[in-house]
Structure 1
Amino acid sequence: MGKKTIHVSDFSGTAIQLDDEVVRVVVLEHPDLVAGPVRLDATPVEVEGIDDAALDVAVVEIHDRHGDGEPRRVVLTASEFDAMATDVPMTQLLKTAERVRPPKARKGAERVDYGTIEHAGRPHRGRVTEEEARLVRERLDEVNKRLADAGIRQIDLADPEHAARYGFPTAL
């Protein structure tokens, strides 16, 4: 018995032949995109007009009191944005405006405090504090239930590494 794989265009559902070129389209932003970028496959004919349909846009961040300190990202046509400059043409304004450095990449979100019941027992590379070890020893069932609910490995007392990490007695 043999198997045959048929590739189809995500746009039209038509079959893409083995010798046809497949164009990969990565959707980075879209109002209906909820879980990050996605990949779509298409034929060259299906995407040949995409450059002609492209819009000249301005992408801006608004830093104001709205949004709990987080900037709002707004996309508008370049002509709409240009019209906002009434004193000096936008092209000149953009040439002379103060440069902004891109934000530094954060090395991680906020530091996680593993010495709290919400995070105790979660895998991490740092050393286990006495507070985390005490929480794990005193509330092992609660910690393991939380870990299991989150799909994370549970603490196994039969595992000598886990026992030593959290200060459980080990059998000799």
Structure 2
Amino acid sequence: MGKKTIHVSDFSGTVLQPDDEVVRVVVLEHPDLVAGPVQLDATATEVESIDDAALDVAVVEIHDRHGGGEPRRVVLTASEFDALATDVPMAQLLKTAERVRPPKARKGAEKIDYGTIEHAGKPHRGRVTEEEARLVREQLDEVNKRLADAGIRQVDPADPEHAARYGFPAED
């Protein structure tokens, strides 16, 4: 028995033929988008009107007390934004405005907390905390399954090094 995969357009539900030009559309922002960007498949014909429908917009962040410490991101038409500049034309204002520097990247990698079930038992050079050792001892099967799924060596309580590292009782 064989299997056949049929690809359909996410927009229209029509079956995509092998000779159709499939276009991937990544939705970065949308009022109904709740869990981050998504991708949709469509034909080139279905998305050719997107460029014609595109708006000239300004995307701004408002840093004020209403955001609870976080900036509010607002999208408005470029002409609406341009109208806010009453002293100098917006094009000139944007050319002479103070540049915003992107936040500096943190040096080094994000510190991994081996005292959580997501990371407990992973090989590392640091000291094993009591929390990590307890998690490994109490949830050995879950830890080893996660390690095996990730292709990492598993914790063996019979291994003297592992027994000492994670506080397993000594084998007689």
**What range describes the TM-score normalised by the shorter chain of this pair?**
0.7 to 0.9
> Which one is further off, 90-99 or 23-32?
23-32
Q: Is the 8 A contact 2:112 2:119 kept in 1?
A: no
Letter matched to residue 5 of structure 2: T
CA distance in 2, matches of 1:124, 1:158: 14
Aligned residues: 164
Residue 169 of structure 1 and its aligned partner are, at CA, apart by 4.5
Query: Is residue 10–residue 41 contact of structure 2 (8 Å, CA) maintained in 1?
Result: yes
Contact 2:113 2:119 in 1 (8 A): no
- Calculate the TM-score normalised by the size of structure 2: 0.73
Aligned to 2:120: 122
Residue type of the alignment partner of 2:127: T
Specify the alignment match of 1:98 in structure 2: 98
Query: Offset at 1:40?
Result: 0.7
Cα shift at 1:70: 2.3
**Residue aligning to 2:41:** 41
Distance in 2 (CA, whole Å) between partners of 1:120 and 1:49 is 45
**TM-score normalised by structure 1 residue count:** 0.73
Distance 2:112 2:51 in 1: 45
Separation of aligned partners in 2, 1:8 and 1:67: 41
Report the 3-state secondary structure (helix = DSSP H, G, I; strand = E; otherwise coil) of the residue aligned with 1:25. Answer: strand
Q: What does the per-residue CA deviation read over 1:87-138, in whole Å, with 9 as the maximum and x for residues that have no partner?
A: 1111110000011112223468975665xx76797356654436x1x33456
- Once the two structures are overlaid, the 10-residue window that deviates more, 66-75 or 86-95, is 66-75
How much has 1:41 moved relative to structure 2?
0.7
Q: In structure 1, what residue type is equivalent to 2:4?
A: K
State the alpha-carbon separation in 1 of the partners of residues 158 and 74 from structure 2: 52
Deviates more, 1:56-65 or 1:66-75: 66-75
Measure the CA separation in 1 of the matches of 2:15 and 2:84: 47
Q: CA RMSD in A?
A: 3.5
What secondary structure does 2:39 align onto? Answer: strand
Q: Which runs of 5+ in 1 are unaligned?
A: none
| Percent identity over paired residues | 69
- Measured against aligned partners, the alpha-carbon deviations of 1:132-168 in whole angstroms (never above 9, x if no partner) come to 1x33456753xx39x95xx956x95626364343344
* Equivalent pair of 2:25/2:41 in contact (CA under 8 Å): yes
CA contact (8 A) 1:58 1:76 kept: yes
Counterpart contact for 1:128–1:166, Cα < 8 Å: no
Question: How far apart are 1:18 and its partner, in Å?
Answer: 0.7
Which consecutive residues of structure 2, in runs of 5 or more, have no partner in the other structure?
148-153
SS at structure 1 position matched to 2:55: coil
**Range 117-126 or range 5-14, more displaced:** 117-126
